[in-house]
Each structure stands twice: as C-alpha cells, then as structure tokens.
Structure 1
C-alpha cells in the first residue's frame, strides 16, 4: 500500500515499496503561498519533489528582469536538471499556493534510481514535456509582449484546464515583463477581443495563440467549457 503522502503523479508512478522508502528518507517541509525561497541543489545537495501545490522557479534574465522558468505542479521535481548535469547550484522559487516539498539527498535518490528503472522512466517523461515547452517558449520569448502573454495563457490553460487564477505580478514573473506592461497587454487583449471581461477581474478567454498568430497551442480549442482567466 502506498504511503498516504505519495499522492503526486511522480510518486504514484513508482512501485509501492520504492515510494514508501522515498517518503521515509525524505525531509518534509511546507511553504506558504506567495513566499519566495532558495534551495540548494546539485551533487552534494537535494532534490525536491513537489508533493502539493504550485510553484514558479525563476532566474534573472540578461536584462536584469526576473523571469519564471516554468509553472510546476504536484509531481514535479525541483533541481532535476542540476542533478543530472552534476551542477552545484541554488534555485530560487516562488510559491504560488501553499506547498509541500519532500527533500531527498542526491546520494539517496541515486541509490533508489539504480534499484528502480521506473524512476528513470518517469524522469525521461518529465524532461520530455519540459523540453517541448522550453523549445516552443524560446520562439515566443523573442516576440512581442502580446505573443508572450498568449503563449503563457495557452500553456497555463493546458496545465490547469478550464479556469486559471493569477495575479498581475505572477503573470509578470512568468513572462519576464514588469507589472505595468502586463496591465497594458491585458488591456490590449480586451481591445482585440481576445479576452472578454466578466467583471471583478474575471475574463473569458476567446482566442488562443494559434487562432491569433497561426502558432502552436497547447490547450484544446474545441470544447464546450468556457475558459476563464481570473486576475487579482
């Protein structure tokens, strides 16, 4: 029987005895919503399995702006790329919601990985999804602010489906813009009828990235549910 703490997609994909052992050797911690924190990763550090909640890891761009690397949900592993590359580093993270982390030393994780091929299979799938998103995101990073925002909205709807709830500051972090630019882009999206205001910060998302620019879109366009964006 699986440990009750191992309910995220990563741990759920592993044999029961491995996920239970992983839970026993892990150090569990919690962070509050809207909290910024730093974690050490790499050969002598830890890997952090996100067991609950949503986070945005971020880095400094060449222009000095903070830019979110991705929006990660339960089942994601923080520090995975540094672990595989053998880099000692620190990652800076913004907790969008209340979160729970399972910290596992790299040495213990490597031992478990050598015993359980399913861990490697899950890592490959996880990296494949991230690589796909990073490759497409790179193209829109070079575009204008509207393209960047539409790309990010499409990706967020693909991850969270019918409704997403974000602040202007969180969208600024994910797109590498400042808060003022985000507000201007949202206003432009309203004028172009890409989003339709419902009042109290709620919008219906009408046109997607592929409809507006002929580019790829991650979300399912043809469905009955309204796609709702909530801004605070």
Structure 2
C-alpha cells in the first residue's frame, strides 16, 4: 500500500488491512498541467484524492468564462458531493500543475463511508472546507486582482506552508486574472517585502499583511 494513503488523517479511522484491501481498487493517474480530471455535468463514477500537484474546481458561466471556486492541495478529496447525492458533477476539476490523482471508485468510497464513521467525519470536514473556500472566492470575485491574489496566497500558505512551489501563471489561474496582472501584483508584493520569488517558487514573508489585503482570516 502507498505510504501516502496510510499517513493521511483522512484514513486514520480505517484499519490498515482494510485500507490496503480497498486501495487495490484505487487507480493512481498522472495528469498533465491543465488537464481535465472530470467535467461539470459528468456522471459521478469516482471520488478523487490529490497525491501531488494542484487542482482547481471550476464553474463555467453561460459565456463559457471559467471561475475558480476552490483550489485542491495534496491530501484533499474532491468530487465527493456528486457521488454522495448521485447527481452529476456540479463543477469541473482541472489541474493547475502536473499532478498525481487517485481515482477512487464510487463503490469503494461508499463502502468507506458506510463502514467507518471517522472517515465520514473527515469527508464532511473536507466538504465544509470546500464550501467555505467557494464562498470566499465568490465574495472576492468583484474585488481587485490584488485582493484575490493575496487571498489565494493566504489559503495556500495556511495549507502548504510559506514555501510555495508555484509559477506566476499558476497564481493567475487560481485568482482568475491574467498572467500580466499576476506578475505586476507579485512584483509589487515583493517590493513591499510581503513575498520573495524565484524559479517556480514563492515564499510568503508577511502573511498578516497579505491577509489584510485579502480581507479574510486565513493566517494561523
């Protein structure tokens, strides 16, 4: 069994032998950057667990304009709402970076939910986080790009730490802005000593200041 699975809080209430047996039904797939993991309106045949990389949950407007509702980091489930209520996926999931994703068949997910209350609690906690982030992103949708970018950095910093392996284009996608705007904003944040940047790397120096710009409470 993959040690990654055994070490996740998500599975702490599942006996190791049971998890090892069930995980044989999981399919680990590698998805290239900007690859669709599942599409809005698709049949919910699986739940997904991110092992590495980043994935965004996207809703498309009637004009086919994408809007990012959530950013999924390693260790998080996604796509479970559709499987739980037996309705089509309400959003699309698209990779931001090259990513490794576990595809968990709906039957295996249902078995875990039905047999292990601790697993169910972790699922509902994850769903609550998704709804909270979606609400935050919707609330910020009309705010300036600077606020949205600061929000994205705060959210990622709270989950991944201050050292983020990101490209500026990744930040633009998550914040729903252009690469040019993201670059200008990150340069300004760097000038104000809020961050430092390097090759595919952003280091968060002043989370409190970024949190103030975002107008949200994300620092820990």
Indicate the TM-score class for this superposition, using the shorter chain for normalisation.
Answer: 0.7 to 0.9
Partner of 1:39: 38
SS of residue in 1 equivalent to 2:104: strand
Partner of 2:106: 106
Partner of 2:23: 23
> 1:209 Cα shift?
3.6
* Unmatched segments (≥5 aa) in structure 2: none
Aligned length: 214
* Unmatched segments (≥5 aa) in structure 1: 221-232
> 1:123 Cα shift?
0.8
Contact 2:37 2:95 in 1 (8 A): no
Give the whole-Å Cα distance in 2 for the aligned partners of 1:73 and 1:198: 20
Give the whole-Å Cα distance in 2 for the aligned partners of 1:198 and 1:92: 27
SS of residue in 2 equivalent to 1:166: coil
Q: CA RMSD in A?
A: 3.0
Partner of 2:134: 134
Partner of 1:186: 186
For normalisation by structure 1, the TM-score amounts to: 0.75
1:205 and 2:201 are equivalent in the alignment: no
Q: Per-residue CA shift, 1:115-135, capped at 9, x if unaligned? A: 222221111111122222222
SS of residue in 1 equivalent to 2:217: coil
Which of the pair has more CA radius of gyration? 1
1:93 and 2:63 are equivalent in the alignment: no
> 1:113 Cα shift?
2.0
SS of residue in 1 equivalent to 2:87: coil
Contact 2:47 2:77 in 1 (8 A): yes
Q: Per-residue CA shift, 1:86-137, capped at 9, x if unaligned? A: 22237332152442x3322213321332222222111111112222222233
